Amino acid sequence: MGKQTWAKFTTAHPTVPAFTAAVSSSLPKSAPILDKAGQKLPTPYGLLVEWLKDNLSGDWSSMTKSKLVIVKVADQADGAVITTRFPAIGAAKKTPASASTIQINYADSDYVNVARGMGYKL
């Protein structure tokens, strides 16, 4: 099915792990709005959502809270896809998002590499 609203997903999958990353929900003021091909650049959060849409096969959802992105997936294989591309930082912890919350290695500084991998011309 793909991406679902946070409320619908968390109701249907209350015990799945969460993946978190600290990223901006907007581009820096000095950043270009368009890439070299004229394509509008997404925010760091938007870029992660694009990556998730392109790479996950099962149900999932995401939300932002301050500078934190929270992603939940229904399928363990999709969780493995996430941590293969964005390795876990430390052990899973219990948080308000989930009893098993995994911080992943995706930050604003990863934007250029991920954007290029998604086809943006930077």
Specify the pLDDT at position 67.
Answer: 84
Q: Tokens representing 70?
A: 């929270």
The ranges of the chain with pLDDT < 70 are 1
Specify the pLDDT at position 66.
Answer: 82
Domain boundaries, the chain: 6-114
Residues 6+ apart with CB under 8 A from 62: 3, 6, 45, 48, 49, 52, 69, 70, 71, 72
Which residue, chain included where needed, has tokens 């363990």? 76
pTM of this structure: 0.91
Specify the pLDDT at position 32.
Answer: 82
Specify the pLDDT at position 89.
Answer: 96
Which residue, chain included where needed, has tokens 């959060």? 45
Enter the DSSP assignment of 57: -
Specify the pLDDT at position 90.
Answer: 94
